[in-house]
């Protein structure tokens, strides 16, 4: 594979993947990103200009997408990360979620179909809805879709489009559904960066509801290595769930953050819960591990979290300008 197109490559996880590919392969990367509020040119800083081209544009722009996909060629691949990604935003205004996540994915599928280019679709465990806290089953590739939020419904719809384009038109695609990512460059609207930067800015930690909700954490570096494994060794038409056995309640995560940052672990605020808040996500990654031999590198969430907290402490210049607007939007909802 000589060239890939990475959509959403200036976002949190897409930029991590770009760094991963540059560090581990000789592949040339073209990033297509609209540079919404969630993008960060800094996350792509310092990359060799002969290996990376960054194109500012919309995945819904059929003309631009067609040109870029054609340029990748039949032996390359499109890796599709671009999305509106934040549940709370989808509850305030669902419109960009429907447009980008559905129409954008459709636009890319039509282009890869026309030019017969390999496609990998990045999705989320949220398409499966939620689990009870004591459910012994975790999500598998066979779990039925039952999305709860406008965000997860738009991602579920996009997944269905990809599978339909594989079956109806022979598009060479794979899919992956990953659990909650953490690590550097995640926007301060998201749970872990929000709490860490609240404390760094002298504010307080904000926990939705009781904090019993469980998320299954994976470091973004491990998501990238899993995606690269699937692109190279996955079977066309197949879906792979990506997870690192990282289940933690939000309450436990909040306590770990407070402790690591030298605060009383019980010194936080309970705030208004998210409407329709999914209770628990949990991934069974057996297929990815046994069929493709993938293993995560970050096996200790506590260690990965500590490194992430240190990263935010060292990158105030990056997150401080974003903080006030995010907190003002949360404050409007009592969060
Ligand atoms: P993010 O919000 O940090 O980044 C999204 C990127 O997509 C941004 O750079 C943004 O500018 C770009 N983008 C948005 N609309 C676009 C458009 N119309 N055209 C081109 N670019 C556009 O998101 P993230 O957390 O990095 O998530 C990336 C992908 O991974 C998404 O598809 C998301 O559903 C999926 N995912 C995320 C997680 C997680 O925990 N964050 C877990 C599983 C799957
Ligand atoms: O599971 C994968 C998904 O993980 C991805 O598909 C999404 O793109 C990504 O945003 C993430 O979704 P969540 O809704 O799980 O992540 P978020 O960081 O918004 O919230 C994580 C948990 O923390 C969730 O239970 C809500 C809670 N929360 C969130 C915020 C922002 C709080 O308790 N307080 C907060 O301030």
Q: Which atom of ligand 1 is nearest to the CA of 8?
A: 7
- The pLDDT score that the predictor gives to residue 206 is 98
- The pLDDT score that the predictor gives to residue 6 is 99
Residue 143 maps to a domain: yes
For 41-61, how does the pLDDT look when each residue is reduced to its tens digit (9 = 90+)? Answer: 999 999 999 999 999 999 999
Number of domains in the chain: 1
Please give the model's pTM, rounded to 2 decimal places: 0.99
Is ligand 1 within 6 A of the CB of residue 187?
A: yes
**Does the annotation count 125 as an active-site position?**
yes
Domain range for residue 7? 3-181+218-242
* 293 phi/psi in degrees, rounded to 5: 70, 20
Q: Which residues line ligand 2 (CB under 6 A)?
A: 85-87, 124-126, 179-180, 190-191, 194, 206-208, 213, 215, 250, 274, 281
User: Token pair of 169, please?
Assistant: 């038109």
Closest by Cα among 191, 162, 227 to 9: 227
**Does the annotation count 303 as an active-site position?**
no
Q: Is the dihedral of CA 108, 109, 110, 111 positive or negative?
A: positive
Please pick, among 33, 84, 88, 126, the residue that the annotation labels catalytic: 126
Is residue 126 within 8 Å of residue 147, measured between CB atoms? yes
Residue 233 maps to a domain: yes
- The pLDDT score that the predictor gives to residue 167 is 98
Residue 191 maps to a domain: no
Give the domain CATH number at 96: 3.40.50.720
d(CA 9, CA 27): 15
d(CA 7, CA 174): 15
Which residues neighbour 249 within 8 Å (Cβ) at sequence distance 6 or greater? 211, 212, 213, 214
Å from CA of 295 to ligand 1 middle: 23
- The pLDDT score that the predictor gives to residue 143 is 98
- The pLDDT score that the predictor gives to residue 243 is 98
Q: Which atom of ligand 1 is nearest to the CA of 180?
A: 40
Closest by Cα among 148, 143, 12 to 84: 12
Full strand arrangement of the beta sheet holding 118-124: 52-56, 28-33, 3-7, 77-80, 118-124, 173-178, 239-242
Tokens 């872990």 found at: 192
Question: What DSSP letter does each residue of 229-259 carry, written as one string?
Answer: HHHHHPPTT-EEEE--S-EEEHHHHHHHHHH
Is residue 274 within 8 Å of residue 87, measured between CB atoms? yes
Is ligand 1 within 6 A of the CB of residue 130?
A: no
Ligand nearest to the CA of 196: 2
- The pLDDT score that the predictor gives to residue 272 is 97
Residue 194 maps to a domain: no
- The pLDDT score that the predictor gives to residue 75 is 97
Residue 198 maps to a domain: no
**Element counts in the chain: helices (H) and strands (E):** 12, 12
Residue nearest to atom 23 of ligand 2 (CA): 191
Is ligand 1 within 6 A of the CB of residue 59?
A: yes
For 6-26, how does the pLDDT look when each residue is reduced to its tens digit (9 = 90+)? Answer: 999 999 999 999 999 999 999
d(CA 224, CA 28): 16
ipTM score of the complex? 0.99
Å from CA of 180 to ligand 2 middle: 8
Give the DSSP letter of residue 123: E
Write a three-state SS string for 203-219: CCCEEECCCCCEEEEEE
Buried b (16+ CB within 10 A) or exposed e, 199-224: bbeeeebbbbeebebbbbbbbbbbbb
d(CA 240, CA 281): 16
Q: Are strands 247-249 and 214-219 parallel, antiparallel or unpaired?
A: antiparallel
Is residue 271 within 8 Å of residue 206, measured between CB atoms? yes
Residue 189 maps to a domain: no
Q: List the chain residues with pLDDT less than 70.
A: none
d(CA 146, CA 127): 6
- The pLDDT score that the predictor gives to residue 43 is 98
């Amino acid at each position: 594979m000589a060239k890939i197109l990475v959509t959403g490559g200036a976002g949190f996880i897409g930029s991590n993947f770009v760094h991963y590919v540059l560090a581990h392969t000789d592949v040339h990367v073209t990033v297509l990103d609209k540079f919404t509020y969630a993008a960060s040119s800094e996350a792509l800083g310092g990359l060799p200009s002969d290996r990376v081209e960054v194109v500012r544009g919309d995945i819904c722009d059929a003309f631009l997408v067609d040109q870029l996909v054609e340029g990748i060629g039949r032996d390359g691949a499109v890796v599709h990360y671009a999305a509106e990604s934040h549940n709370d935003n989808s509850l305030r205004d669902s419109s960009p979620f429907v447009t980008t996540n559905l129409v954008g994915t459709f636009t890319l599928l039509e282009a890869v179909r026309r030019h017969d280019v390999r496609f990998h679709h990045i999705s989320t465990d949220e398409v499966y809805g939620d689990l009870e806290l004591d459910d012994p089953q975790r999500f598998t590739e066979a779990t039925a879709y039952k999305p709860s939020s406008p965000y997860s419904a738009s991602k579920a719809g996009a997944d269905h489009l990809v599978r339909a384009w594989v079956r109806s038109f022979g598009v060479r695609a794979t899919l992956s559904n990953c659990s909650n990512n953490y690590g550097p460059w995640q926007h301060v609207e998201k749970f872990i960066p929000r709490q860490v930067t609240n404390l760094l800015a002298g504010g307080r930690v904000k926990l939705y509801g009781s904090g019993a909700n469980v998320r299954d954490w994976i470091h973004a570096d491990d998501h990238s290595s899993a995606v690269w494994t699937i692109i190279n060794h996955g079977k066309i038409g197949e879906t792979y769930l990506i997870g690192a056995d990282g289940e933690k309640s939000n309450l436990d995560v909040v306590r770990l953050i407070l402790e690591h940052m030298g605060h009383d672990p019980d010194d936080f605020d309970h705030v208004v819960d998210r409407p329709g808040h999914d209770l628990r996500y949990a991934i069974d990654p057996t297929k990815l591990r046994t069929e493709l031999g993938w293993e995560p590198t970050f096996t200790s969430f506590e260690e990965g979290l500590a490194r992430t907290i240190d990263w935010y402490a060292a990158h105030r210049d990056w997150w401080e300008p974003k903080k006030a607007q995010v907190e003002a939007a949360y404050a409007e909802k009592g969060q």
